Chain A
Amino acid sequence: MKTLRIGGGAGYSGDRIEPAVELAEHGEIDYLIFECLAERTIALAQQAKMKDPALGYDPLLEARMLAVLKTCSEKGIRIVTNMGAANPLAAAAKIREVAVSLGLNKLKVAAVAGDDVLEQLRAGDYLDDEGEPVKALGARLLSANAYLGAQPLVDALAAGADVVITGRVADPALVLAPLIHSFGWAMDDWQRLGQGTLAGHLLECAGQVSGGYFADPGYKDVANLARLGFPIAVVGEDGSLEITKVAGSGGSITTATCTEQLIYEIHDPAAYQTPDVVADFSQVSMTQIGPDRVAVAGASGHPKSGMLKVSVGYIDSYVGEGQISYAGSGALARAQLAQDIVAERLQLTGVALTEVRYDLLGVNAIHGLELAAQAAEPYEVRLRVTGRTDSLREAVRVGNEVETLYTCGPAGGGGVTKSSREVVAIRSTLLPAAQVQPAIHFEEI
């Protein structure tokens, strides 16, 4: 039976690069995918593009291509990635430039565009997931990108692309597209699309399925995380699926690591929504068939909804933050006094806050007071004050009120840091798939 080996080369924009090189050199893979677009990434990329029309793609695109493109080209490994972010066309031009600089004399790059539906949302009447009109965001609206399905990526591969670079597409589509292209699966073969989506879901966070984000010393030990190997999906024409990695790399692939990643962020396992299929993972089973090798079976699917999810990025607010540490005996009491002083100061000086939060790091910052109530008093405590405002100017004042604790607050406070930033937040809405028109552009040498 025909099989395809697909490597998961990145699980987020800033991920390690050497594991992808290892996959290209030693993974005997046919495809290398890089999933680099978190919910907010594309809105931030859109801001970069507004400042410079030649930017707006993944900041590590050039570094990643420099690291893998030559090897992939020599071995015939095709690359599929969403590193195009807000500007797949500029990204494709950059990849061509990298290829030329590496001395490659033949490469076809396909940029998949059409996910950007900002003008459509600006002009029409659409409600977001909180029932608010998207239009009402006005000038604060930054970006709107529909989650495209696998079809335009399949078309790009059929046209002979060595590299397919996209903006917003459903993460599993990066894996599903090579499978549909190579095996000729029908776009309504729900069972195989479900199993292919499962392969994509397991690969899309890269190291998170091969022992990364898993270790808990004494309970779940994982060897050699500094050299974590990224995963390879071995998929058969019939949809059969095995997850493995390069022999000798760090990490571990067991039914436990695969189960954690299977359930990760899927909500209802029987109805995992994607643009291509409503995947059903509720009957999935796993078998350890060798060291670092797990067979995963039993996914199926149901017809897609016909609606595409759209991520809407907008400028939500501004946040100012200040932190200061206290240590030794009485640290907690002094940190609490510092918190009370800052709370009074923010009120006294009239800082226009719409929301404020006080945390004692090491005491209650992560889960609040209820869960931390039983814990012993720590040796050191760090106060963190965060406030939301409507302008950057006001946000700056939050950190300033923490900083003045140096000379005006409790004894022994040290290590102040302060920051302020614009908050780009995300809402979502739905668009009929027919209203979104993907387009493919090619760059060649």
Chain B
Amino acid sequence: MKLREIAHARAGDKGDISNLSLIAYRAEDYALLERQVTPERVQAHFQGVVHGEVQRFLLPQLGAMNFVMQRALGGGVTRSLALDAHGKSLSSALLDMDIG
């Protein structure tokens, strides 16, 4: 199953840092997210895109978590050559992750 079936996400940016939320649609699916969508897996999922550390912050009462990914935006939003310089579409790429 794709992550998209049980969760939604939004990406934001600050300099060269991408800030990616992941939110379970139903509270009962949060534990699965916490177990499977680890910072290590997110780092591996974004290999070639995110070049720095990935940190995860948990908000269990909201069924949500926040990934802060360093060196993720081609050197920074204001100077990146990327088409999606803000990394807005990283949220959709995260939801493509397989979980089981």
* Chain A residues close to B by CB (< 8 Å): 39-40, 129, 213-214, 216, 219-220, 255-256, 259-270, 282-286, 316-317, 319, 355-357, 359, 361, 365-371, 384, 386-388, 423-426, 428
Contact = CB atoms under 8 A, between A and B. Distances in A.
A404 B46 CA distance: 35
Interface in B72-92: 76-79, 81-84, 89-90
Interface in B38-67: 45-49, 57, 59, 61-64, 66
Contacts of B45: 371
Contacts of A284: 59, 61-62
A282 B60 CA distance: 9
A213 B86 CA distance: 14
Contacts of B78: 39-40, 316, 423-426
- Give me the 4 closest cross-chain CB pairs, A-B, nearest first: A265-B12, A263-B21, A425-B78, A425-B79
A323 B100 CA distance: 40
Contacts of B83: 359, 361, 365-366, 384
A260 B21 contact: yes
Contacts of B76: 425-426
B26 to A, nearest CB: 11
B47 A370 contact: yes
Given A39-B77, A263-B66, A423-B79, 4 more contacts: A255-B62, A260-B8, A265-B19, A425-B78
Contacts of A387: 81
B48 A129 contact: no
Contact of A357 (B4, B81, B84, B93): B81
Contacts, number: 113
Contacts of B10: 213-214, 260-261, 263-264
A219 B49 contact: no
A256 B23 CA distance: 8
Contacts of B12: 264-265
Contacts of A426: 15, 76, 78
Given A260-B10, A267-B14, A285 B93 contact: no
Contact of B81 (A256, A268, A283, A319): A319
Interface of B: 4, 8-10, 12-15, 17, 19, 21, 23, 25, 45-49, 57, 59, 61-64, 66, 68, 76-79, 81-84, 89-90, 93, 96
Given A256-B8, A267-B14, A388 B62 contact: no
A40 to B, nearest CB: 5
A265 B15 contact: no
Contacts of B46: 367, 371
A269 B23 contact: no
A355 B81 contact: yes
B42 to A, nearest CB: 13
B66 to A, nearest CB: 5
Contacts of B25: 256
Nearest to A265: B12
Which of B21, B45, B93 has the most chain A CB atoms closer than 10 A to its own CB? B21
B93 A129 contact: no
Nearest to A129: B15
Contacts of A266: 19, 66
9 contacts: A129-B15, A256-B8, A264-B19, A267-B66, A269-B66, A282-B59, A283-B61, A355-B81, A366-B84
Contacts of A319: 81
Contacts of B49: 367-368, 370-371
A256 B26 CA distance: 10
A410 to B, nearest CB: 22
A419 to B, nearest CB: 13
B19 A259 contact: no
Given A286-B62, A425-B76, A371 B93 contact: yes
A284 B61 CA distance: 8
A282 B66 CA distance: 11
